Amino acid sequence: MDFKEIKDLAISAVVLSFVFSYSGISNLSSLPKNFIIALFSVSFAFIFHELAHRYFARKFGCYARFEMWSYGLFLAAAFSILTGGRFFFAAPGAVVIYPRIDLWGNVKRISRKENAIISAAGPTMNMVLAIASFLLLLYPWGEVVKEILAFSINVNTWLAIFNLIPIPPLDGSKIFFYSIKWWSIIFLTSLCLFFLL
C-alpha cells in the first residue's frame, strides 16, 4: 500500500466520520464527541470494507487499490450539512481493479464468480464487524467505549445493507447478476443482523 492509497483512505474516513456525526447547526456542541465516536466506528467499518475488496481482488491475481472520489466526498459532506445530518450520501471512492498482464502479454481477467466474491467481501466484512462489536458490547466497558461499539453496530449493518442494494455500481449488483440465490442469502443475513443487533 503506497502513500497515496493510505492518504485516500484516511481523507475518506475523516469525511465519512463527519457525515455520520453531523446532526445540524443546533447540535454543534455535540459534534466533537460524536465525531470522535464516528471516527473510530466509521473508520473501521469503511477501511476494513475496502481492504476486504482489495484483499480478494489481489488473491485472484489482479492489481487492486483504493481510489478516492473527491466529488463523491464533497457531495457526502454537502448533503449532510444541507439536510442537518438526516440524509446520507456515501460515495467516497472504491477499490479499482486492474487485470494483471504477464511477461508474455496475457491478461489475467477475473471471472463473474470471482467478481461476485470480491464484491461480497466488503459487506460480509461489515457484518463480521457488527457481530464482533455486539459481542464486545456484552463486556462492561466504560460509557464512551459502549457508545463507540453501539455506533459501530449501526454503521456496519447500514453499510452492509446499503452496499448490497442490487443497483450498479453497488456491490449488490455484481452479486445479484451472478447469482440471485447468493445475493438473497447475503442480503437477508444483513437484514436479520440489522433488526437483531
Active site residues: 50
Q: How many degrees, rounded to 5, is the angle at CA 76 between CA 75 and CA 82?
A: 80
* Beta pairing class for 107-108 and 100-101: antiparallel
Q: Which residue from 78, 90, 81, 79 is spatially nearest to 46, judged by alpha carbons? A: 90
Q: State the DSSP H helix or E strand holding residue 50, giving kind and residue range, or none if neither.
A: helix 31-59
Provide the 3-class DSSP secondary structure of residue 21. Answer: helix
- The answer to whether 151 and 144 are in contact (CB under 8 A) is no
Distance between first and last Cα of the chain: 34
